[in-house]
Chains A and B, each alone.
Chain A
Amino acid sequence: MSKQIVIFFIIFIAVLLQISFFPNIVAQGASPNLILVIIIFWATRLSFDKIWPWAALAGLMSDLAYFWPVGISIASFVFIAYGANYLARRFLVAQNPSRFFILAGILILGSVFNDFLTSMLLKIFSHEAVNFKILFFNAKFGIKILYDLLLFAIIYIPFLRLEKYTAMDNSQLKPDR
Chain B
Amino acid sequence: MRGVFFRISYPFQKTFYLLSGDISGTVNFLGSISDLKKENENLIKENNSLSSEVALLKDEKKENETLREQLNLSSRKKFDSEASFVIGLDPQKLGSWMIIDKGTSSGLAENMPVIASEGILIGKTAEVYANTTKVNLLTESSSVINALDIETGAKGVVRGEYGLGIVLDMVAQTDVLNSGDTIITSGLGGDLPKGLLIGKVQEIRVSPDKLFQQAIILPQVGYSKTDVVFVIKNK
Contact = CB atoms under 8 A, between A and B. Distances in A.
A28 B163 CA distance: 10
Interface stretch (A59-67, A82-90, A153-161, A162-170): A59-67
A17 B24 CA distance: 14
Contact of A17 (B14, B16, B21, B163): B16
B142 A129 contact: yes
A114 to B, nearest CB: 10
Contacts of A33: 91
B134 A67 contact: yes
Interface in A104-118: 115, 118
Given A67-B2, A129-B141, A19 B88 contact: yes
A135 interface: yes
A22 B90 CA distance: 10
A33 to B, nearest CB: 8
Given A16-B16, A29-B93, A140-B94, A131 B2 contact: no
Interface of B: 1-2, 5-6, 9, 12-14, 16-17, 19-21, 23-24, 27, 87-95, 97, 99, 126-127, 134, 141-142, 162-164, 224
Contact of A23 (B2, B95, B127, B134): B95
A25 B24 CA distance: 5
Contact of A19 (B91, B141, B164): B91
Given A24-B17, A129-B162, A29 B94 contact: yes
A134 interface: yes
A18 B99 CA distance: 13
A18 to B, nearest CB: 5
Interface residues on A, range: 20 to 34
Interface string A27-71: 011010100000000000000000000000000010011110010
A24 B20 contact: yes
B13 A20 contact: yes
A119 B99 CA distance: 21
A134 B94 CA distance: 9
Contacts of B20: 20-22, 24-25
Contacts of A16: 9, 12-13, 16
Contacts of A25: 20, 23-24, 27
Contacts of B27: 25
A135 B134 CA distance: 22
Q: Which 10 A-B pairs have the closest CB atoms?
A: A23-B89, A24-B20, A129-B141, A31-B91, A20-B16, A29-B94, A19-B88, A20-B13, A21-B16, A64-B5
B91 A23 contact: yes
15 contacts: A18-B91, A20-B12, A20-B20, A21-B17, A21-B19, A22-B91, A25-B20, A28-B95, A29-B93, A33-B91, A66-B90, A67-B97, A118-B92, A134-B164, A140-B94
